[in-house]
Amino acid sequence: MTLYRKYRPQTFAEVVGQEHVKGVILEEIKMYEDTPDEIIYDLLFKGIWKNHPLAFPVTGECSSILPMTREDIIRMVLKSQVASNGGCNCGGESGCC
């Protein structure tokens, strides 16, 4: 049995301390939106890609985050923040490749 399956929370009640996630995400979006070159980049891609998924900002929008409930956030964390979604990248002269 792999460790992430053994110790991964299986229910909402087992996940503790995730209430701050929404606030952190909103702050990241606001920081991104305060950078002029990112705004120009987003407008350019929106003009090029129209309604394609590449036209939308990588960070999402505050309007899509604000309605999220605690259960939505926990569901997202349980689904995405697991060891099986991790990876390792090496670059330069790290000796791993």
Amino acid identity of residue 42, one-letter, is D
- CA dihedral sign, ordered 38, 40, 45, 50: positive
Task: Please state, for a pLDDT cut of 90, what percent of the chain lies above it.
Answer: 8
pTM for the model: 0.49
* CA-atom Rg of the chain in angstroms: 18
Poorest-pLDDT segment among 32-36, 48-52, 72-76: 72-76
